[in-house]
Amino acid sequence: MLDTPAPAPADGTPPRTVPSRRPSATTVAVAAGGAVAGALLFLAAYRGMPDDSYITLDYARNLAELGHWGLTPFRDANSATSPLNVWLLAAGTLLTGRPVVAVGLVLVLTTATTAVWAAGLAQVVRRRPTVVAGLVVGLVVTSPIFASVVGMEAFLAAALLVGVPRYGVARRTVPAGVVAGLAALVRPDLVLPALVVLAVLFATPAPRRG
């Protein structure tokens, strides 16, 4: 959700921005645009998913069908690079019954979330939300590198690295911490950049609003 300005205080100070309780038309529009972009990418790329994506899907299938964490049903393993990606794909497999369709579902939700967070960040720094969201999601879904790793955690990592500054710039400490924690579950090596971004943002003056 994007933020909305609160009523101006009587003393004339600039109004502060507070989180909206209801999705705005802009939020719905950018989320829909992000979802469509993710769906188009999935339709274009899912037939060429790399071997590593199918390894991740084996983890997700075993988790969804057997409650077992491993590459095969017969042996535990800890070689999955992204626990959060496996959990989401397992949830998608439970919903759809088809692991490959779960990849599309997770991708669509991820690109929609990326768009919403990019738009929220743009609003805080006083840029056009729809333009920034379109640029960020467009760069992700048209990148040959991202297209070659559909089914892996790269899209989740990109989304969360947009979410961290989105909440950090707005000085929303709890959501920023939650998103940073999710980044660690996507890939442990994302902890350092997420914390560095938060440290820099919280150490610098907040953007002026109003």
Q: Residue 4 — very low, low, confident or very high, per pLDDT cuts 50/70/90?
A: low
When mean pLDDT is compared across 21-25, 183-187, 206-210, the lowest value belongs to 206-210
Q: Where are the domains of the chain?
A: 23-203
pLDDT, position 72: 81
- Rounded to an integer, the average pLDDT of 57-61 is 93
Q: In this model, does residue 98 exceed pLDDT 90?
A: yes
The model's pTM: 0.84
pLDDT, position 199: 85
Q: In this model, does residue 131 exceed pLDDT 90?
A: yes
What secondary structure, in 3-state letters, does the chain show? CCEEECCCCCCCCCCCEEECCCCCHHHHHHHHHHHHHHHHHHHHHHHHCCHHHHHHHHHHHHHHHHCCCCCECCECCCCCCCHHHHHHHHHHHHHHCCHHHHHHHHHHHHHHHHHHHHHHHHHHCCCCHHHHHHHHHHHHHCCHHHHCCCCCCHHHHHHHHHHHHHHHHCCCHHHHHHHHHHHHHHCHHHHHHHHHHHHHHHHCCCCCCC
| pLDDT tens figures, 21-51 | 677 888 999 999 999 999 999 999 999 999 9
